[in-house]
Chain A
Amino acid sequence: MTTRGFEAHARHREGVVIIDLSGEVNKFSGATLTAAYGEATEGNSSSVLLNFLDVDYINSTGIAVIVALLAQARTEARRVTAYGLTEHYKEIFEITRLSDFMAIYEDEDNAVAQVPA
């Protein structure tokens, strides 16, 4: 296994729940991400902001993990947004149409300003 560690931690800023992701998003990231999402949504917030700044690699199985998270958020009527993606992964989120279902912001200030708490 050459998989780099993946971490996901929830925090709050100005009433917005942010999940800071780091490392490599792949098929092994699912459980960690789901746990962080569970923690993030304990307060019943209506949206979750994913921070991809420290993510250096996302593969197709990682895309699947994100899709599964979006699907779960959808059933709970929660909005998922993101920031910190490199140009390359922004392109991938566009090609896969993930960005149609998950607004992508340039940075955290921007995202927090526009995301409802």
Chain B
Amino acid sequence: MSVFPGRLRKVTLGGRRKAQGASAAPEREAVAGMADVPPVDIASNDPIIAYFQAASGAVDLEGLELESPARDALRAAGVKMVVPLVSQGELIGLLNLGPRLSEQEYSTDDRKLLTNLASQAAPAVRVGQLVREQQAEARSRERIDQELRVATLVQQQFLPKELPELGGWEVAAHYRPAREVSGDFYDFIELPEGRIGIVAGDVTDKGVPAALVMATTRSILRGEATHAAGPGEVLRRANDLLVPDIPPQMFVTCLYGVLDPATGRFRYANAGHNLPYVATADGVVEMRARGMPLGLMPGMDYEEKEGTIGPGESVLLHSDGLAEAHSPDGEMFGFPRVMKLMEGSGGGSEMIDVLLEELDRWHGRDAEQEDDITLVTLKRSASAGVTMSADEPQEELTSTAPAAPGRTSSNGRADDSVQVLDEFTLASEEGNERLVMERVTGAVAGLPLGSKRLERLKTAVAEATMNAIEHGNQNKAELPVSVRVMATDDDVQVHITDLGGANEVPDDTETPDLEAKLAGMQTPRGWGLFLIKNMVDDMQVTTDGDHHTIELTLHLKGDGNDD
């Protein structure tokens, strides 16, 4: 076209402009291949960008009075006139023109035509850019989907292909992965003398890393289960093997138990996993055993406990995905609900159906599942004979309402030894303080703690947990908050530990100045530590460099003397 006198050259805006970064590089290559003008980068803070964006048409570079490195670079490249391409108020590119071949100046008609051309070309260029961005996004999504497929594959590869057949027992398992598969796993390990090892575990984190740690943990446990003396020893060795190799901030919660199908005897140890529940004729009881998650710290010991699954009773091993699922309005499914549902469920696979149906009904069948859900149950047939060996002491399963720990020794003096009532970890997620409150309330249920003092303990525990989540672990969900509930004859103690040992311990337990807050001279916040201090009889804050612990102590008093 004769009206197109100048050489049309395209110079990109350059990769230094953040908004243009994704599309700049390929364009630059295209330019380099088609023209003898080198591409010009325009810095995002160059005033010429705002100028071009506001310009109503072609801009004569000669007459442009502006302190702009880009203007100088364009001029040096031989550009005489620039036509900004603006789409929906955004500068998306430039048409750069050299001198007319006739060496005459650009006419008014030329400018009009160029301006019209730019206004029509800009949307088309923008569409091209968007298509390219979408293609890049699609490639990225494809990569993520591919990783999810790999993680799922690894995960499912290592889950049992079939369930063990145990005479007199019904074994059922259900694994329902979340879309972004996390590290749930379970396993059955054949042991000598007809016994069977049962594993339920959960690796923090998601995707391929979690799947690999899951596979490693499973192999270690399989190896140790056949060598070590008991479940506590298996977990102790597995922990020591995992600690050096596990990526930082990842850990594994794991329940490992050995069942003797002939007697129903179940010996178990727990590395911070959800407590197994047993549905009995008298209600649902928890199987408690203390122990830190695997992979956090070396040299950990794992308490070993033993209970018996009686005829007609069912044990349930379960991962967080069930009890910690949320309804659309943010309410948690909760452990008490799981226990209640177990009571009337009939046990075994029926129990799994009841739990899952209720979960679906409660959070909506179409809701996206937040976390993997793993449920393993073993139901002993009602007709199975009870044969318990008399020469080994039998520990009772710890019920949800344990007997008061304050004991009197034979000489009549109070035994002031500390009894651990519960120990567990939780992810540093907003709102989890209520879970801790719930669980501590359960752990101290058998203590002579009046209702008023119990409420104080709950508030102190919730505030200390919030402090650990928010300040200690900086709201990083993958960092655990560890909680230990203990009792002596005189006190109940709760220790709440985070990984913020390196952070300075705040010293703001002074009374907040309410007048100043109401007058708008101070932030309305800052009540946490003040509340804790006022709720308990003693509060200590300790740190060991890595960890930071709030130790709460409340004296036990009878119900009649509640305050």
**Which residues of chain A have a CB within 8 Å of any CB of chain B?**
1-5, 24, 57, 59-61, 63-65, 67-68, 70-71, 74-75, 86-88, 91-92, 95-98, 100-101
Q: Are A3 and B514 in contact (CB under 8 A)?
A: no
Q: Are B531 and A74 in contact (CB under 8 A)?
A: no
A67-B524, A101-B518 known; A2+B463 contact, CB < 8 A: no
Chain B residues positioned under 8 Å from A97 (CB to CB): 514
CB closest residue in chain A, given B429 = A1
**How close is A78's CB to chain B, nearest CB, in angstroms?**
13
> B519 is contacted by which of A63, A64, A71, A98 (Cβ under 8 Å)?
A71
Stretch of B136-144, B329-337, B540-548 at the chain-chain interface: B329-337
CB closest residue in chain A, given B458 = A88
Q: Are A87 and B524 in contact (CB under 8 A)?
A: no
Question: Does B432 sit within 8 A of A, measured CB to CB?
Answer: yes
Q: Are A1 and B431 in contact (CB under 8 A)?
A: yes
Q: Are B435 and A59 in contact (CB under 8 A)?
A: no
Q: Are B330 and A88 in contact (CB under 8 A)?
A: no
> B331 is contacted by which of A5, A64, A68 (Cβ under 8 Å)?
A5
Q: Are B330 and A1 in contact (CB under 8 A)?
A: yes
CB closest residue in chain B, given A65 = B524
6 further A-B contacts with Cβ under 8 Å, apart from A71-B520, A101-B514, are: A2-B332, A2-B431, A2-B432, A67-B517, A74-B518, A88-B452
Digitize B4-42: 1 where CB-to-A-CB distance is under 8 Å, 0 elsewhere: 000000000000000000000000000000000000000
A5-B330, A87-B452 known; A60+B514 contact, CB < 8 A: no
Q: Are B452 and A2 in contact (CB under 8 A)?
A: no
- Give CA–CA (A67, B512) in the complex, Å: 12
Digitize B400-433: 1 where CB-to-A-CB distance is under 8 Å, 0 elsewhere: 0000000000000000000000000000011111
Question: Does B459 sit within 8 A of A, measured CB to CB?
Answer: yes
CB closest residue in chain B, given A86 = B455
The main secondary structure of chain A at its interface with chain B is: helix
- Give CA–CA (A116, B324) in the complex, Å: 46
CB closest residue in chain B, given A70 = B518
Question: Does B203 sit within 8 A of A, measured CB to CB?
Answer: no
Question: Does B466 sit within 8 A of A, measured CB to CB?
Answer: yes
> B430 is contacted by which of A1, A67, A86 (Cβ under 8 Å)?
A1
Question: Does B365 sit within 8 A of A, measured CB to CB?
Answer: no
Q: Are A3 and B524 in contact (CB under 8 A)?
A: no
Chain A residues positioned under 8 Å from B471 (CB to CB): none
Q: Are B326 and A71 in contact (CB under 8 A)?
A: no
A1-B429, A60-B466 known; A67+B518 contact, CB < 8 A: yes
Q: Which 7 A-B pairs have the closest CB atoms?
A: A2-B431, A88-B455, A67-B524, A60-B527, A64-B524, A64-B525, A60-B528
**How close is B367's CB to chain A, nearest CB, in angstroms?**
14
A3-B431, A64-B527 known; A98+B330 contact, CB < 8 A: no
CB closest residue in chain B, given A75 = B520
Chain A residues positioned under 8 Å from B523 (CB to CB): 64
CB closest residue in chain B, given A97 = B514
**How close is B20's CB to chain A, nearest CB, in angstroms?**
36
Which residues of chain B from 427 to 469 have a CB within 8 Å of any chain A CB?
429-435, 452, 455-456, 459, 462-463, 466
Chain A residues positioned under 8 Å from B331 (CB to CB): 2, 4-5
Question: Does B534 sit within 8 A of A, measured CB to CB?
Answer: yes
**How close is A80's CB to chain B, nearest CB, in angstroms?**
11
A87-B452, A88-B455, A101-B514 known; A2+B330 contact, CB < 8 A: yes
Q: Are B466 and A59 in contact (CB under 8 A)?
A: yes
Q: Are A2 and B525 in contact (CB under 8 A)?
A: no
Q: Are A57 and B434 in contact (CB under 8 A)?
A: yes
23 examples of A-B residue contacts, CB within 8 angstroms: A2-B326, A2-B331, A2-B435, A3-B430, A4-B331, A5-B331, A59-B433, A59-B459, A59-B462, A59-B463, A60-B466, A63-B531, A64-B523, A64-B525, A67-B524, A71-B517, A71-B524, A74-B519, A88-B459, A92-B531, A96-B514, A98-B514, A100-B514
